[in-house]
Structure 1
Amino acid sequence: MTTAQTCSPAIPAAPPRGLSTKRLSILTAATEVFCREGFSGACIDEIAVEASVSRQTIYNHYRDKEALFVAIVEDIMARTGAGLSAIVSTFPASPSDIDGELEAFAIRLVRNCLCNHDGRFLRKLLQSEGERYPHLFEAWRRKGSGLPVDAISGLFLRLKTTRLLDIEDVDLAARQFLALINADLQVTTLFGGIPTEEDIGSAARNAVKTFLRAYPSPADRA
């Protein structure tokens, strides 16, 4: 069973370093409008009204609607990357139960990166606008479907170095790990649903079970 969702990504209550309050207001309003109207249906005048700024103020910060949209995508990706790094930092340095720790990690990843407001927002816009405006999602594609794999690759490199997992290509393993987690959730998320805790737990267990068959510990492979 899935629950209903809202589209808008979570916008920080306080502006991140280097981001002015006015610019944050523009991004917040633009996110709401793009989510509601799509890229083609959104207009700068409507965004200006919701942000309580003038049309010219928006153009002073962003040269056109495309630049504003790309800024939103990049802002979401930056938050996603920071959140992922924080999740990776919670992984034990010397895990005693690699199966259990990877499963718990997968659950945290789904909750906080794949199925949070930001993740759902990007999926909705990709489904509605990705084919018509593929260039708007270029940064998303470069980063591996919007979720940077560098942090996960770093984790797998650490597990490889400590001989907890037998992995030859950590970047490939990171992409495969993400794909396995998504395998049981993609139908639900494709149609705008939010996976239940039971769905997330089941997806994590199935993903880790399959992943560890491909990348067991050296001791298990011997």
Structure 2
Amino acid sequence: MKARRAPSSEDAAADIDCAGTTPPLYGHCAKRQSIIEAAEDAFASDGFAGASIDAIALVAGVARQTVYNHYRDKETLFAAVVAAMAERANAGFYRTLASFPDQPDDLAAALSAFAERLIRNCLCNRDCDALRRLVERDGERHPALFATWRSEGPDRLAALIGDRLKGLAQEGRLELDLPERAARQFIALIHADISGTAKAGGTATDADIASAAANGVATFLRAFGTAKI
């Protein structure tokens, strides 16, 4: 990782609340952002145990004490990183959810197109990949740090997609008993063909994503579709 600048003596200044109602000094907010960005890279690369506050401070271009002034300990910084990444991931999900097909003529094609967007914007983007690695590495040892992400991330995603699938069932397009469970299965199916690529550190191509989406949707509709394919 490349350091942004050498720390200055003023970096030990007290924390400023960048989220408060009073407009904060931009310099302090910029430092907080630099710390978060450096910490994201460090935690994603080395995990919670391996990441060093000294290394994070160096990359962020601030003094070590400045990191503690803004985030009082490593656990707090880690939680802030997870929250920031989850917020960006959720923003992409809500934008994608808005494009869920509404009374499509060709359900398979419409769901496949939606699945491609979901894979690209939500399941295989940088933040989701990094969060997945963090959970796999540190989730068992630090479950509380991921509690909010689980409830507002994957669980919320499945619930909202389940609501959309329930709408298709009410139109007679799907046969569902438990829409949320069907949504989790939908997500798993469209992600199945490319999950290995992500775990191996590779990048799925557009063709990979299109194929994964089409295959996953075809399997899903064979199980839940009223017009069997």
TM-score bin, normalised by smaller chain: 0.7 to 0.9
Partner residue, 2:31: 22
Partner residue, 2:110: 101
Partner residue, 1:187: 196
Separation in 1, partners of 2:89, 2:156: 7
Amino acid at match of 1:75: A
Name the count of aligned residue pairs.
Answer: 203
1:192/1:135 Cα in 2 relative to 1: closer, same or farther (>3 Å)?
Answer: farther
Q: Is the 8 A contact 1:124 1:192 kept in 2?
A: no
Cα offset, 1:21, TM superposition: 3.3
Cα offset, 1:56, TM superposition: 3.0
**Does residue 175 in structure 1 map to residue 184 in structure 2?**
yes
2:92 partner SS: helix
Cα offset, 1:176, TM superposition: 0.7
2:157 partner SS: coil
Partner residue, 1:10: none
Partner residue, 1:201: 210
**Does residue 214 in structure 1 map to residue 209 in structure 2?**
no
Amino acid at match of 2:64: R
Larger Rg belongs to: 2
2:67 partner SS: helix
**Does residue 47 in structure 1 map to residue 56 in structure 2?**
yes
Q: Within 5 Å, which residues of 2 pair with 1:107-186?
A: 107-143=116-152, 145=154, 148-186=157-195
Identify the match of residue 66 of structure 1 among 58, 72, 75. Answer: 75
Separation in 2, partners of 1:147, 1:106: 17
**Which ranges in structure 1 are unaligned for 5 or more consecutive residues?**
1-16
Cα offset, 1:173, TM superposition: 1.0
RMSD: 2.5
Separation in 1, partners of 2:43, 2:176: 41
Partner residue, 1:80: 89
Deviations 1:3-56 (A, max 9, x none): xxxxxxxxxxxxxx9494332222111112223333212122221222223333
Separation in 2, partners of 1:146, 1:111: 19
Deviations 1:146-181 (A, max 9, x none): 873233123213323333322222111111111111
1:194 partner SS: coil
Separation in 1, partners of 2:175, 2:209: 26
Amino acid at match of 2:162: S
Give TM-score, length-normalised by structure 1.
Answer: 0.79
Identity %: 46
Amino acid at match of 1:38: G
Deviations 1:174-199 (A, max 9, x none): 11111111221222222211122222
Separation in 2, partners of 1:181, 1:84: 15
Partner residue, 1:13: none
**Which ranges in structure 2 are unaligned for 5 or more consecutive residues?**
1-17, 21-28
1:42/1:146 Cα in 2 relative to 1: closer, same or farther (>3 Å)?
Answer: farther
Q: Is the 8 A contact 1:185 1:203 kept in 2?
A: yes
Separation in 1, partners of 2:160, 2:151: 15
Give TM-score, length-normalised by structure 2.
Answer: 0.77
